[in-house]
Amino acid sequence: MSWRAFGSLAATLALTLAGGATGVTTASATDLQEVMFVGNNWDGTATVIKSSGDFAKIGQINVIPDKAQRLAEINADPIKWIYYTAINNEVGQGHDQFVDDMYSTPDGKSVVVSRPSFADVVSIDLATDKINWRFPVAGYRADHMAVSPDGTRVAVSASTANLVQVLDINTGKELGEFPTGDKPHENFFTNGGKYIWNMSIGEVTTSLDDPSADWTKGDRHITVVDATTFKQVKIIDMRDRLDAIGLKDFSDAVRPAAFTPDWSKLYFQVSFFNGFLEYDVAADKITRVKTLPANPATSTDRTTWLLDSRHHGISMNPDGTKLCVAGTMDNYATVVDRATLQEGPLIPASTPYWATVSGDGKDCIISEAGADQITAIDFATGEKVTSVAVGDHPQRVRLGHVPAGWTGPTSS
């Protein structure tokens, strides 16, 4: 979730405490502490760290307490077993994908997690590591999520079903769904929760990576829907926008992205590109392209790049003046001035795979999947602040809340 979205969540909590009707039971703000959840994809845990300052570890959550039961179900169903094995061998690089995305509930008592290998979303009780509810997604893999500004709904990409499903965060009940392009990926609630944007990325596990074979990757586009009715508002096909500015060899698979605080501009990464593009929402066109430095040590063989990624991870500071970019295959991260698009120092990092913003808005936080750590980079200076060890293969990092004084489940 973006920093501003959490600002909206904080405002909602304040309104609730003052008697506002949100339909969600919330704790007093003084009973919660802001944290960051780091999803350790390969070992099925989430490391909980401080949201700013020294980012010290607070506790850890087991997000697969039902592992034996889920594996027994998979082994008993040949189709599920085929997909589970394919996820392990291809997307997981020979590992299970146990945690992709996670958000805390408004009362700070639970964390909701999408689990790709188990094709579900679960709510984990932060006091006990036990499952409150489980929602099997359509198809055979769960991917990225987004949470509404009021914290009451999560949208999850059901990647093999080409659907986004929207759930009540407290009960796991499905509230609605909408179709997407092939392999839905990133989701955003925009404009104060009025719309949901989904980016589909198509096939990223094949070796047909030459630009001439790009058509084999599937139907990739942005789907914009009304967040209440789930009716389609707009389809944005970046293929047409890329072609219009002469970028016919660019992939149109939109990867991680970041909006400006007023939602007027979208900065997004695409497959195989070491850089990002700027899209003007109202004008409906790509307005600037930024190419970032290539690491001379990075192989030029596109089939060796992780799931078609060259750069994967982008975030923006709260006032919208700086971008932070994870140069995944080039093994660095950098802060970019949004006005000039000039990058700062290239901070060495081992397969940085996500970028988000600290709770106080001062730092960019990247996950280093190759080093099992997160690293903080100062937005103001572009210099590294600190690194903190987490679990095996960290990817998504999200702001959230836990009860004040929480240090981990009592069952641990």
| Domains by residue range for the chain, with CATH | 3-403 (2.130.10.10)
Pull the structure tokens for residue 351: 């397969």
Comparing CA positions, the residue from 287, 216, 280 lying closest to residue 253 is: 216
> pLDDT per residue over 143-196, tens digit each?
999 999 999 999 999 999 999 999 999 999 999 999 999 999 999 999 999 999
State the CB neighbour count (10 A cutoff) for residue 261.
15
Amino acid identity of residue 257, one-letter, is A
| Residue-wise pLDDT tens digits, 367-394 | 999 999 999 999 999 999 999 999 999 9
Note the pLDDT of residue 205.
Answer: 87
Mean per-residue pLDDT for 345-366?
Answer: 98
Please determine, for residue 20, whether its predicted confidence score (pLDDT) is greater than 70: no
Would you call 84 helix, strand, or coil by DSSP?
helix
106 has pLDDT over 60 = yes
Tokens for 321, please give them. Answer: 């003046």
pLDDT band at 94 (very low <50, low <70, confident <90, very high): confident
Q: Locate tokens 């609630």: which residue?
A: 189
pLDDT of residue 7: 42
- Tell me the average pLDDT of the chain: 92
Write phi, then psi, for 292 (nearest 5 degrees): -100, 160
Q: Percentage of the chain surpassing pLDDT 90? A: 88
Q: What is the DSSP secondary structure assignment for residue 317, as one 8-state letter?
A: -
pTM equals: 0.91
pLDDT of residue 92: 73
Task: Provide the terminal-to-terminal Cα distance of the chain, rounded to the nearest Å.
Answer: 27
pLDDT above 80 for 5:
no
